Amino acid sequence: MSQVGRAEQVPVRVYTTADGLPRDAVDHIEQDSRGFLWVFTGDGLTRFDGYDFITYTTDDGLPDRRVNDLLETRGGTYWLATNGGLCRFNPRGIRLRNAYPVKPLSASPQTHTLESATHASDELMFVLYNPDGEDRKAIVFNVLWEDEAGVIWCGTDRGLYRMEEKGGQVRFDFVDLGRLTASKYEGLVTAIVKDRRGSLWVASDKSGLYRLLSGGHVERYTTEHGLLADGIASLLEDRAGNVWVGTNVLNEGGLCRLVPDPDPRSSIVAHAYTTQDGLPSGWIHSLQETRDGKLLVGTAAGLCSLIPWPRAGQSSFQVYSAQNGFCDKDIWGLSEDRDGNLWVASRCSLMKVARKGFTAYGATDGLDNPFVNSIFEGRKGELIVVSASVGARGRGINRFDGRGFTSVSPRLPPHVKYHGWGWGQTIIQDHTGEWWVPTGGHGLFRYPQVESFERLGSINPKAIYPTRDELRAREIFRLYEDRRGDIWIATTVVTGLVRWERSTGIFHELTEETGVPPKTDFTAFREDDQGNLWIGTAEDGGLLRYRDGRFRRFTTEDGVPPGWIISLYLDHAGRLWIASQLGGLNRVDNPSAESLRFIRYTTADGLSSNNIRSITEDAWGRIYVGTGHGVDRLDPETGRIKHYTVADGLPKNVIEHAYRDRHGALWFGSVFGVSRFVPEKEETNRPPSIYIKGLNIEGVAQPVSELGETELPSRELQPAQNHVSIDFGGLSFDLGEELQYQYKLEGADVKWSAPTATRSVNYPNLAPGAYRFVVRAVNADGQSSPTPANFSFVVLAPIWRRPWFVALLILATGLAAYTLYRYRVAR
């Protein structure tokens, strides 16, 4: 998460019960080696694959609905810490309602007996193990940690246990930590970390921090050793080897970084942070270090990140709150997935913060109005966003200072109430620093260069057009400055195109004599590398090229897309890109050629819409287009297209404006504000995994692992079992990623299917024969699963069609014929 300012919206996606969660409140999140996200809500255990939330509860065999932690061992075994004991998850096991209605205290795997059948423990989805004894606190498991030797350390309400599994047998050894063990009320273990020096750190709810050395010696640390409180809620060892300690005390608590090799005879705290340093609360629920080295802190009053070297007078923490898009202040859990996204567990929802998502700005960030009218850079390089009010009753000029916007409204006469309906290229600042402000019936206002941006709101215009016969048009639609410094003006009168010549100060109306089509609205301007000026038009008016004082018109007969030409863009290679209302995205590689060749991209090529509203480009030559369905990114070299939507941080999916600033950031404007996106050089993404998740034969569900299978056991199906349906899916939480799938049924299909987002396939009335179903996932970069998931099966022929039956029938027929022949000869 980058630094944010004021109340800008970070790219947060919120998940609630409306999306399939059993509860809105989320306690904890973990991701396993396959990529599944596991969500802890206090109402069972929920698994998320990017599409669906699947929840397991006591109805499926969990010993308790509250699951506190999940550990996937290096060997691939899943262990669950629950309020009803330690539970092993078997994804191929049987779901059994209320498998453990009574929780006996035993280290032996427990079975459940029904009236009609008994299930062995290894057949169940959830197998319960507990330490021997009568203390019920021992079965409340809070946290699990696996060390390098494969030993699992278990933190419970009674204290610390050491658990090992050998030969299918589980053994629990209680670890005596002294005060933690002796106290009736202080035995609850909240966190465990083993550092790179071999010390096991154990946090307690009330009695301080314990350090178990490799030789078995135990050291206890409290406020007497520099800790901010004796109640510890969270622990973390960062990549540098620092151990961080978060307390569970609201006011006096906070965050501590320990010294590298603590000594019980002195303070063990290298640095302590409290609310006086900018922490929103002293209660630290969770700690997370991101892949780029940021330390994130989840507190009882919001999420924050540590600023390692704050400036003088600056807070040590950047705080993210509801104003930044988070739905709650109480942050209980943090987890970074393998794609770099941050997942946040809070009291009101599960939140995903996209690593490379869009940051949104609105009225709370200083925008005069969230209705964005245009985006450009001023003469000094500052980003300018022009905003408009509903009904075009006014326009504001907003300057970005790196964290938020400062807004001014040009000083206009009181009678100017309507500013016109133009968009995209309206208010401009020319190369001299002067501002040109169009209106919707009162002409064009020209303001002098100002040293202070704020003065633009109080200074009088330098000139107002029309004066006398200089500019007959009063309603201005668009403005554009060419390389000569001349200003091109699109108006809404019969002669709709005017050029103000800077060298003479004269307005020239462009007419049919110069090649301008009459009664045409001019909707976009762009100059190419050769100095040709390109002008888009409305209502199939085509595309104009102005060269050597003359216009040439290109129409749909020449390949120009139909509908309005809404935006024009020149890329780094000098190619002209054309955004059309009906004809998708178009490209002209050589705009100076006498005859133009138009290359068109539409929904058939993967665009989300053929109504393209805006165009820009990143530093690596990838083209970004705004549509009514979000932002599409096109790689011209490969033709691959990636989609970005509200799920990636856009405030809304209708994107009217796009602009790249001199720092490489991309800006996208809509009627709901402006969004900033910082592209990165494309990394080699991990090829997507693929799993078969369901198999139905004649409508009967067949056993498949809860986590999916890459290969199902081969099957022999009876003739009446010739209706097969298969569910499958891949895993990806990457920004803008929407996996596609290809499959084929070998024995019936020769080629792979066309890519599709559908995650199931149905094969009815299969003919007898041998088949092999294969399926693969394909990401936006064209990478497919390295090993397709597969299922081989044979549909048997009816008995009367089987070779042995046919042979027997032929033999029987032959014998009957021979017998008849001998009989007739004998007669």
Beta pairing, strands 45-48 & 383-388: unpaired
Give the tens place of pLDDT for each residue, 141-188.
999 999 999 999 999 999 999 999 877 788 999 999 886 655 555 679
Q: Are 653 and 630 spatial neighbours (Cβ–Cβ below 8 Å)? A: yes
Q: Write the pLDDT tens digit of every residue in 310-326.
A: 777 678 898 987 777 78
Q: Is the pLDDT of residue 105 over 80?
A: no
pLDDT at 122: 63
pLDDT tens digits, residue range 467-510?
Answer: 645 566 667 889 999 999 999 999 876 568 999 999 999 989 88
Give residue 473's pLDDT: 60
* 424: three-class secondary structure by DSSP: coil
pLDDT for residue 96 is more than 90: no
Residue 274 in tokens: 């409290």
Range 784-795 average pLDDT: 96
Percent of the chain at pLDDT exceeding 70: 91
Look at strands 463-465 and 444-447 and give their pairing: antiparallel
HEC string for 18-75: HHCCCCCCCCEEEECCCCCEEEECCCCEEEECCCCEEEECHHHCCCCCCEEEEEECCC
CA proximity to 343, closest of 743, 27, 19, 812: 27
Report the C-alpha gap between 809 and 273 in whole angstroms.
90
| Cβ atoms 282, 247 nearer than 8 A | yes
Q: Is the pLDDT of residue 189 over 90?
A: yes
Cβ contact 492:477 at 8 Å: yes
Q: Is 548 exposed, middle or buried (0-12, 13-18, 19+ CB in 10 A)?
A: exposed
Q: What is the pLDDT of residues 221-241, one digit of tens each?
A: 999 999 999 999 999 999 999
Residue 101 pLDDT exceeds 70: no
Local confidence band at 102 (pLDDT 50, 70, 90 cut-offs): very low
Residue 228: its pLDDT value, please?
96
Q: How far is CA 283 from CA 302, 303, 326, 350, 685, in A?
A: 10, 11, 18, 20, 37
**Predicted pLDDT of residue 736:** 63
Cross-strand partners of 37: 31, 48
* Mean pLDDT score across all residues of the chain: 88
Per-residue confidence (pLDDT) for residue 652, from 0 to 100: 81
The residue written with tokens 């000139």 in the block is 463
The reported pLDDT for the residue numbered 761 is: 97
Closest CA to 586 of 559, 604, 609, 621: 559
pTM over 0.85: no
Greatest distance between any 2 Cα atoms in the chain = 131
Per-residue pLDDT reduced to its tens digit, 703-719: 999 999 999 999 999 99
**Which pLDDT tens digit goes with each residue over 441-460?**
788 899 999 988 989 889 99
DSSP H or E stretch at residue 668? strand 666-670
Q: What is the pLDDT of residue 103?
A: 43
- Cα dihedral angle (115, 116, 120, 123), rounded to 10 degrees? -110
CATH architecture for residues 690-796: Sandwich (2.60)
Q: What are phi and psi of 455, to 5 degrees?
A: -70, -15
- Residue 23 pLDDT level (bands cut at 50, 70, 90): very high
> How do strand 789-795 and strand 711-717 relate by DSSP bridges?
parallel
Helix (DSSP H) and strand (DSSP E) numbers for the chain: 2, 66
Q: How far apart are CA 467 and CA 488, in angstroms?
A: 18
- What lies within 8 Å, CB to CB, of 768 at 6+ separation is 719, 722, 795, 796, 797, 798, 801
Is residue 11 within 8 Å of residue 649, measured between CB atoms?
A: yes
User: Counting Cβ atoms within 10 Å, is residue 557 exposed (0-12), middle (13-18) or buried (19+)?
Assistant: exposed
Give the span between the Cα atoms of 585 and 633, in whole angstroms: 11
The DSSP annotation for 166-212 comes to ETTEEEEEEE--THHHH-SSS--EEEEEE-TTSPEEEEESSS-EEEE
Q: Which segment of 106-115, 642-651, 763-772 scores lowest on mean pLDDT?
A: 106-115
The average pLDDT across 126-144 equals 88
pLDDT at 104: 43
Report the pLDDT averaged over residues 754-760. 94
**What is the reported pLDDT for 412?**
87
Is pLDDT at 243 greater than 50 in this prediction?
A: yes
If 0-12 CB within 10 Å is exposed, 13-18 middle and 19+ buried, where does residue 131 land? buried
Residue 68 has pLDDT above 50, yes or no: yes
CA distances from 269 to 201, 698, 758 (A): 14, 66, 55
* pLDDT for the residue 717: 95
Least confident among 384-398, 607-621, 649-663: 384-398
Q: Please give the C-alpha separations between residue 306 and each of 173, 315, 321, 511, 806, in angstroms, as whole numbers.
A: 38, 9, 15, 63, 79
Do 105 and 156 meet the contact criterion of CB atoms below 8 Å apart? no
User: Element (H or E) spanning 808, and its range?
Assistant: helix 803-826
Model confidence at 11: pLDDT above 60 = yes
666-701 tens-digit pLDDT: 999 998 899 999 998 876 677 899 999 999 999 999
The HSE-up count of residue 578 (CA atoms within 13 Å, CB side) is 32
Rounded to whole angstroms, the Cα distance separating 687 from 732 reads 10
